[in-house]
Amino acid sequence: MSLQLNQAQSQVSSSTTPSPWALCVAPMIDVTDRYCRFFHRLLAPNARLYTEMITTGALEYGDVARHLRFDTSEHPVALQLGGSDPTALARSAKLGAEWGYDEINLNCGCPSDRVLKGAFGAILMSEAQLVADCVKAMQDVVSVPVTLKHRLGLDYDYSYEFVRDFVAVQYEVGVRVFVVHARNAVLKGLSPKANREIPPLRYDMAEQLVQDFPDATFVLNGGINTVADSVDHLQRFDGVMLGRAAWHTPAVLGEIHDRIWPDQPRLTEDEVVAQMYDYLTEEIAAGTRPRQITKAMLGWAHGKQGARQWRRHLSDPDQMARQDAQVLLEAWQMLRQAAQASEQN
């Protein structure tokens, strides 16, 4: 195969302008907090970032600022909500818009035990009209897009008609952006982790939605881990959403960004470290524990010489107890020294 053909297959077609949803980082509970999102933004300037799922109850009865505060550099950033009461969702969506979020996303895909008790997440796919009522209530109070994240089906119903009809009902009330996790959600008998691995991926069924709703935006989620995966899927979908890969190997975000927006420069690794050092310094002064921030960076050195030492230094309890941003520069220096030693050998 020629070099020219290899290059053509490794880069997203430049014949069309990439969708605003071309590269997304999935909402992940206990992962995509504002510290993680700040780091991901440095790696991929145009990626669309999502909050952890925040329930309407957390915003109605909890600390709103703690849940919704974010750095302006995170734009474009979406607030993902969990809930099933149209009135409560409308209030939460309005709060999100007032805080400056660029999108309100309703979770119709989470398969955890909590969704059965709280009547939100994947179980909502069995109540398409209720979801439409929730969407309409949110649309009535915000001007930003109201979008959905959903699965292909529930339990062991693998019929295409189920997801097609669900999407059709939402389309009728004006939803135009759908994030499709290309697996079923098995609500009884599988853990959330197992739900990310055991139900089979059915990209062909997700692609059928693209064909049946041609003027809607479809973002593919599920099993996307590499640059090659992403570039391939972007030939058929408007965007890709990475989940655990963005957490375990965050450098892949920048590599995908380069394929989608090849003419837009990114920060160098040294520049990323410098900005994270400043951010860490400011957050420590504000009372944030360093580990809350450095945990998002542990996988950044994946595959490099010295990666284990990098992870160890940035997660060591004694180092974190120092409350000193210098720990990041120390870890970076160790990583660079390991790379230099490898080159000399």
Where in the sequence numbering do the catalytic residues fall? 110
* 3-state class (DSSP) for residue 217: strand
Token pair of 37 as six digits: 């999102």
d(CA 306, CA 91): 48
Q: Which residues pair with 150 in a beta bridge?
A: 108, 180
Cβ-contact 280, 320 below 8 angstroms:
no
First-residue to last-residue Cα distance in the chain = 33
Contacts (Cβ under 8 Å, ≥6 apart) of 181:
109, 149, 150, 151, 152, 221, 222
Burial of 120 (0-12, 13-18, 19+ CB in 10 A): buried
Query: Closest Cα partner for 29 from 126, 141, 152, 112?
Result: 112
Residue recorded with tokens 């997660």: 315
Contacts (Cβ under 8 Å, ≥6 apart) of 55:
81, 82, 83, 118, 120
